[in-house]
Amino acid sequence: MKNIIITGGAGFIGSHVVREFVKNNPDTTIINLDALTYAGNLENLKDIENEPNYVFEKADITKPEELRRVFEKYNPDAVVHLAAESHVDRSITDPMAFINTNVNGTANLLNLCKEFWTLNPDHTHGRFPDEKRNNLFYHISTDEVYGSLGETGFFLETTSYDPQSPYSASKAASDHLVRAYGNTYGMPFIVSNCSNNYGPNHFPEKLIPLCISNIINEKPLPIYGDGKYTRDWLFVIDHAKAIHQIFKEAKTGETYNIGGFNEWQNIDLVKELIKQMDAKLERPEGYSEKLITFVKDRPGHDKRYAIDATKLNKDLGWKPSVTFEEGLAKTIDWYLENKEWLENVTSGNYQDYYSKQYS
């Protein structure tokens, strides 16, 4: 493949995915297509911006004419689709933004792929003999499409969808559209659904970077409800490596769950963060625990998510490369070394700069 578009490449996960693809595919042009919303930041890719096989194209997936311009310029062989509105709390206050970007934006991309690619009629539900895989639409999704678990059990690739928030419903709709284009038109596709990511470049509205930022600044650490909500956490670089490996090796028509085999209740996670950060900041043990503040619960809050990533491990041999404690330590170190990044994204400085740069 000569040209691969990665959408949402300026965001948290997308920037790590772009780096992984640029470094491992020197003969392929990696096109980072991103609208640079509040969550997109080209500063995340400073270290690779001059690589000969990397280009950035500012385009909004909700605007078909902007996508068409990029498709005509590069005639892409594959699309790795991460661009999305991604924050559940924002989806509760502004669901339409999520429907526009996550549902309509995905449909716009699929329509252009359908138009630009010669789709193969020789398929069963988007599965093709390997030698006929010329193109690929790889859709990145979330485990939140599966809804909430009780105290036991895991999400499998075969678990029925039961999304509970406007965010997860919009992602579920986009997953369905991708499979429908595979089944109906013979679009070669792969979908992967991942658990919560953490790591460098995470926008500080999400739990871990918010708490890191607030522990540094001795501000309250907001925890929903009783703090017993349980999530599986995966280091973002391990997710990016999984995406690259799936892109290269998985059969079309497949779905993979990606997770860290690493469940934490929010309250325990925040206490682990406090333990590591108080030590690094040379504060007395437990010093920052006074910052923990329980806040009113989010409506429709899912109790527990837990991913079973056995299929990915069995089929492709993938497993996380770091333990949670190691990944968290790397993440904290990154935020402590990049306080300026944190200040600039929190103040909106980068967004102001890029809106002038690309206007």
Q: According to the binding rule CB under 6 A, does residue 82 interact with ligand NAD? A: yes
231 binds ligand NAD (CB under 6 A): no
Minimum separation from the CB atom of position 271 to ligand NAD (A): 21
Single out the residue of 159, 148, 164 nearest to residue 228, CA to CA.
148
Site size for ligand NAD, by CB under 6 A?
Answer: 31
Out of 20, 34, 157, 308, the residue judged to bind ligand NAD by CB under 6 A: 34
**Quick one: which of 3, 4, 5, 11 contacts ligand NAD (CB under 6 A)?**
11
CB 172 within 8 A of CB 326: no
Q: Which of 104, 196, 262, 288 binds ligand NAD (CB under 6 A)?
A: 196
Is residue 242 a contact point for ligand NAD (CB under 6 A)? Answer: no
**One-character DSSP codes across 324-338:** HHHHHHHHHHHHHHT
Based on the shown chain and the rule CB under 6 A, indicate whether residue 252 belongs to the binding site for ligand NAD.
Answer: no
140 binds ligand NAD (CB under 6 A): yes
Q: How far apart are CA 331 and CA 200, in angstroms?
A: 5
Catalytic residue among 143, 157, 175, 302: 143
Identify the residue among 142, 165, 252, 276 touching ligand NAD (CB under 6 A). Answer: 142
**Which one of 203, 256, 335, 354 is in contact with ligand NAD (CB under 6 A)?**
203
The rounded distance, in Å, linking the Cα atoms of 103 and 188 is 19
Name the pairing type of β-strands 189-194 and 292-295: unpaired
Q: Are 185 and 114 in contact (CB under 8 A)?
A: yes
The verdict on whether 167 is a catalytic residue reads yes
133-164 per-residue burial string, b: 16 or more CB within 10 A, e: under 16: eebbbbbbbbbbbbbbbeeeebbebebeeebb
**Binding of residue 76 to ligand NAD (CB under 6 A):** no
Closest distance of CB 133 from ligand NAD, Å: 23
The answer to whether 144 is a known catalytic residue is yes
Beta strands at 263-265 and 230-235: parallel, antiparallel or unpaired? antiparallel
We find the least distance from the C-beta atom of residue 84 to ligand NAD, in angstroms, to be 3
Site residues for ligand NAD per CB under 6 A: 7-8, 10-14, 34-37, 39-40, 60-62, 82-86, 101, 105, 140-142, 171, 194, 196-197, 203
Q: What are the residue numbers of the active site?
A: 143-144, 167
